Amino acid sequence: MRAIILAAGKGKRLQSEMFDIPKFLRRVKGRALLDYVRESIDFIPEKDTVIVVGYKKEHVIENTPGEYTFVTQQEQLGTGHAVLCAKDEFTDYDGDVLVLYGDMPLIKRETYMSLIEKHVSESAACTILTAVTDNPLAYGRIIRMDGKITDIVEQRDCTPAQLKIRELNAGVYVFKSRLLFEKLRYLKNDNAQGEYYLTDVPKLLIADNLKVESYTVGNINEIVGVNTPEDLEFCEQHLDTGH
């Protein structure tokens, strides 16, 4: 098992420019957001973990000790493009890869391990971390038919009916590495954001009748990502209580 941590974003809504640091180094309980994420996947060796950096990348690299490999996303063209930037590091690798975000400090180690366990036990092409809630966050929706995932729709692209769906895509995945990088080449940016969504890779796998599974986290708080000062405060509170 290898991992890709996405840590290239600027964090405009978190006022990163005012603080002159990338959002992944913003601190919660005295530690950088990225530190919590790295600790949560410490069952994957550092040498097998690639961190995608971009905005103020030197700061991230300097403040991230260990044997990590860093790759640069020069332009912010979406999550799919960010993962594609790591392609050269996986040329000779044919195993599974966990793709996660450097600004989600509340996801527990046990959740990542359970997601991976589900992926392996089901021999899936992709396994998606989902959460079910009556108060949906600004996340994509999981579309199912007869219990099987048939689509994932980003919130901005949802119809009014789809916005009522309670199962959310947390944006964390395990992929068969070879299939991931093969499908990334076919991404299009014809969506509300004009970006290349990683979300579209599972859809391409589904279109090829490949197995896409999910693991649903029990605590909705775990999937909160830090995009605003309010999110940062939320994480402060919930790390206090062991989330």
Active-site positions read 13
Burial of 181 (0-12, 13-18, 19+ CB in 10 A): buried
129-168 burial, b for 16+ CB within 10 Å, e for fewer? bbbeeeebeebbbbbeeeeebebbbbbeebeeeeeebebb
Please calculate the CA angle 49-93-90 and round it to the nearest 5 degrees.
55
49 forms bridges with which residues in the sheet? 3
Strand ranges (E), the chain? 2-7, 27-28, 31-32, 49-53, 69-72, 96-101, 126-132, 141-145, 148-153, 167-176, 212-217
- The identity of residue 119, as a single letter, is H
